[in-house]
Amino acid sequence: MMRSGHMACPGCGVVIAMRLVLRALGKKTVAVIIPSCSSIIASTYPNTSLKVPAFHGTFESAAPTAAGISYVLKLQGKDDISVVAFAGDGGTFDIGLQALSGTVDRNEHYIYVCLDNEAYMNTGIQASSATPECAWTITTPSGRPFRKKNIMEIMAAHRIPYAATASIGYPQDLMDKVKKARNIQGTKFLHILTPCATGWRMAEGLTVKAAMLSVETRLFPLYEVFDGRRYAITYEPQGFPIDEYLQMQGRYGHLTQDQIANMQTQIEVEWENLRNKVKDCQC
């Protein structure tokens, strides 16, 4: 569903995620694109790399645009066409959060895909609220002093039918979740970590390895949330120490051993919290 010759940087995690999502959805799909890395990849005027219809909206409007298109298709009796909104972490965690909250509160029928490369990469690597604590960006040269916003818990609080994390390092898990989302009525939210070789200051060939290590270290676990209350882990990670994941990225080159140890502790706490939520659902 995607042509070659697009404008993605070498080693781009966003374009891998977009390919997998569109492959799972198939031809009967309408994509919504907003200003982000995905817009450069998908629709550099006057060309497009997508093989499906696409609508280019404003930065904050991915969610309501997708909801509106879905509603019109419903009025036309075209209930076999999926509408997917692609937005970056800036357009999801920050600029588009209010509009996203409005559509999920109404449980509009569409799929929202957050392509999270953990900063405003398209405009020069500025920090967003998805940027992890201590990570370097040009606006946080000593490391971001705040923790990453927990977007999955925000979506779960809206009690939408389906929310899930996914990784380009585990393509079958990702595509299975997209196919599941396609067949669920209402709002579906997919949070996909998409490593950025440029912004993460690492070699182009390490993108997928970084994505896999984020999962295996339990930093970015793969799980699903149904109706905001039922949690299910879809992949059991190895539980590797965070060290290798951090060392491969130049954005963490300034960390002290105490900072690394603190990050490891935070991962273990969050993993245990997730496991407890899963256990609570099984009682």
Residue 148: partners with Cβ closer than 8 Å, 6 or more residues away: 118, 129, 130, 131, 132, 133
Tens digit of each residue's pLDDT (9 = 90 or more) over 125-177: 999 999 999 999 999 999 999 999 999 999 999 999 999 999 999 999 999 99
Q: Identify the pLDDT of residue 42.
A: 87
Answer for the pair 18, 87: CB distance below 8 angstroms, yes or no: no
Answer for the pair 196, 121: CB distance below 8 angstroms, yes or no: yes
- Give the start-to-end residue ranges of the domains of the chain: 13-282
| 244/2: higher pLDDT | 244
Q: What are phi and psi of 161, to 5 degrees?
A: -60, -35
Answer for the pair 30, 53: CB distance below 8 angstroms, yes or no: yes
| 45/36: higher pLDDT | 36
Residue 112: partners with Cβ closer than 8 Å, 6 or more residues away: 62, 63, 66, 84, 85, 87, 92, 100, 104, 187, 188, 189, 190
Q: Helix 207-216 and helix 13-25: axis angle, to 10°?
A: 80
Tens digit of each residue's pLDDT (9 = 90 or more) over 262-278: 999 999 999 999 999 99
Mean pLDDT for the chain overall:
96
CA atoms within 13 A on the CB side of 59: 11
Topology (CATH level 3) of domain 13-282: Rossmann fold (3.40.50)
Answer whether 0.75 is exceeded by the pTM: yes
Tens digit of each residue's pLDDT (9 = 90 or more) over 76-127: 999 999 999 999 999 999 999 999 999 999 999 999 999 999 999 999 999 9
CA-to-CA distance for 166 and 159, rounded, in angstroms? 19
Q: 46 preceded by cis ω (within 30°)?
A: yes
Answer for the pair 45, 22: CB distance below 8 angstroms, yes or no: no
Answer for the pair 167, 193: CB distance below 8 angstroms, yes or no: yes
Q: Identify the pLDDT of residue 283.
A: 57
